[in-house]
């Protein structure tokens, strides 16, 4: 049932991943789920760049080097995390959004559509027992130096994926009644 899957979805961080690889066919299926997100005016703004193997190492190096270059007081723990997270992951997907060149709709709607595509990926990962996490570090504004971004395309973050061992913590939510006004 979809409601149970939605409640099962969790952020699973790269430090929790094991070494089990994710098949290319599973990644393609996860991306295909993303492709079925709602899209206003059919702009389909989501774009994905899948990093596996050596490209993950290059991403970690780029992120840690850029952080050290841009931050006047870089923290050793952050440097290490930026270097290690991509390699701890079976795959990293750069989440990008291609702005409609005609600007026929507000940018936030294309960002929202891309976020819905990522939610589809996340649910697909949850169903397959693959841990995943959307990270949006401040460094994404520099990703045009690393990724081959088209004109009007920008990086919105990274979707880390990997298998994990053990059970995930139970998550609770406050009552929906506290967040709803019936009119």
Q: Is 46 annotated as a binding residue?
A: no
Burial class (CB in 10 A: 0-12, 13-18, 19+), 20: exposed
Q: Is 122 annotated as a binding residue?
A: no
Q: Is 64 annotated as a binding residue?
A: no
Q: Is 173 annotated as a binding residue?
A: no
Distances (CA, A) of 55 to 4, 58, 64, 86, 125: 35, 5, 14, 9, 21
Q: Is 23 annotated as a binding residue?
A: no
Q: Is 154 annotated as a binding residue?
A: no
CA–CA gap between residue 116 and residue 79 (Å, rounded): 30
The binding site comprises: 9-11, 40, 134-136
The binding site for FMN comprises: 9-11, 40, 134-136
């Amino acid at each position: 049932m979809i409601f149970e899957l939605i409640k099962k979805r969790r952020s699973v961080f790269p430090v929790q991943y094991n070494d089990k690889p994710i098949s290319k066919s599973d990644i393609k299926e996860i991306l295909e789920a993303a492709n079925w997100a709602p899209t206003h005016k059919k702009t389909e703004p989501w774009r994905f760049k899948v990093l596996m193997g050596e490209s993950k190492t290059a991403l970690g190096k780029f992120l840690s080097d850029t952080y050290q270059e841009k931050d006047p007081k870089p923290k050793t723990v952050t440097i290490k995390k930026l270097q290690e997270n991509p390699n701890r992951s079976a795959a990293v997907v750069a989440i990008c959004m291609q702005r409609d060149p005609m600007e026929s709709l507000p940018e936030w709607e294309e960002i929202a559509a891309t976020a819905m595509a990522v939610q589809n990926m996340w649910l697909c990962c949850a169903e397959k027992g693959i841990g995943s996490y959307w990270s949006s570090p401040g460094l994404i504004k520099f990703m045009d130096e690393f990724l081959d971004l088209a004109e009007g395309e920008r990086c919105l973050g990274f979707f880390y994926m990997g298998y994990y061992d053990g059970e995930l913590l139970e998550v609770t939510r406050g009552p929906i009644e506290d967040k709803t006004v019936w009119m």
